[in-house]
A and B are shown apart, each in its own frame.
Chain A
């Protein structure tokens, strides 16, 4: 009998030592949208496809990791002509750099509902160290992660040549994302 108790206790301890578990992301309740200003006009676009590998443990957030991968061709501005345009060399150069990606380096708890995330964002072959605050909330059995990441498009050379003019297209672009994890 003591053996069983011992095994049970042993198993219990072991299971709590397990690191952050991979989350199942509900793609129908997750999205990545970008907002930018074109001559003062706010425009929204979204990436209709992305893959994510998020390992997260609520109790030990610093063991969490996130890896997001976005095919550039899934960019959708709601207009076919514009969607074709952004794949070109002056923009994302999707032929040479078909994917954008984010890899987390450090995640730590900020408060009960927020995490500080440090990571590397790579777009058009250019990597930048970035930091953002991730908001977490739980609705029923779903865990929702969302945040906004401002980037400067010229850092990644998105919009080169005549398009580098920030009076036509602002430098600051906001990447808004939401990931919903299934239980």
Chain B
């Protein structure tokens, strides 16, 4: 069985944890009424996660484009292969679009992003009262899209593993052999 490269596997699981954390924080923090220190803290952490995810996905895309993924051991029906490919592409789109819309939303609100409290990231646009609610809305809609894609992605992987009993999921698991 040919599995994904160690780098790909590492990025996959690390990023899934970061993305899940960002999603949970995003859900909780927007539910906090009013303005509280905790809310501001969650917003900061959420943005730091977003910036980290954006950096990692850029590297991950370059890796993906320069390192061929393992071919299927058993050929899949064409519709499944196409569906998988489409879902994976949309996941990459979400992984870029979410941090980017979030970043510009913050700038439109006049709040620069200071990564890990240390490094102020470039202020690419001036505060913009028109863009602010638009970017906020897009960011939220995209996060819902990501949730759906994530559920489909995880469900399909589990289907392949437990129902089809093939090695699709195993390809993305770290080897226990060394």
B127 to A, closest residue via Cβ: A78
Interface size on A, residues (CB 8 A): 17
Which residues B76-127 have CB closer than 8 A to chain A?
109-114, 117-118, 120, 127
By a CB distance below 8 angstroms, the chain B residues around A38 are 40
Q: Which residue in A40, A42, A82, A162 is a CB contact (below 8 Å) of B36?
A: A162
A-side interface mostly: mixed
- CA–CA, A39 and B117, complex, Å: 6
Q: What bracket does the count of chain B residues touching chain A fall in?
A: 10 to 19
Among A38, A40, A163, max chain B CB count under 10 A is at: A40
**Interface of chain B, helix or strand or loop or mixed?**
loop
B34 within 8 A of partner (CB): yes
With A39-B41, A41-B112, A42-B112 in contact, do A81 and B35 touch (Cβ < 8 Å)? yes
A39 touches B109 (CB 8 A): no
Closest to B34 in A: A85
B residues near A43, Cβ cutoff 8 Å: 110-111
Once A78-B129, A168-B40 are accepted as A-B contacts, the answer to whether A41 and B35 lie under 8 Å apart by CB is no
Instruction: Return chain B residues, CB-CB under 8 Å to A81.
Output: 34-35
Could you write out 10 A-B pairs with CB less than 8 Å apart? A39-B40, A39-B117, A40-B117, A41-B112, A41-B114, A44-B110, A81-B35, A85-B34, A85-B35, A168-B41
**How distant is A22 from chain B, measured CB to nearest CB, in Å?**
36
Answer yes or no: A165 CB below 8 A from chain B CBs: yes
**Contact for B113 among A41, A162, A163, CB less than 8 A:** A41
For B56, what are the chain A residues with a Cβ–Cβ distance below 8 Å? Answer: none
Are B41 and A78 interface neighbours, CB within 8 A? no
Chain B residues within an 8 Å CB radius of A163? 37
Q: Does B18 contact A (CB under 8 A)?
A: no
Given known contacts A42-B112, A85-B34, what 8 new A-B pairs fall within 8 Å (CB)?
A39-B40, A40-B44, A40-B117, A40-B120, A44-B110, A78-B109, A81-B35, A163-B37
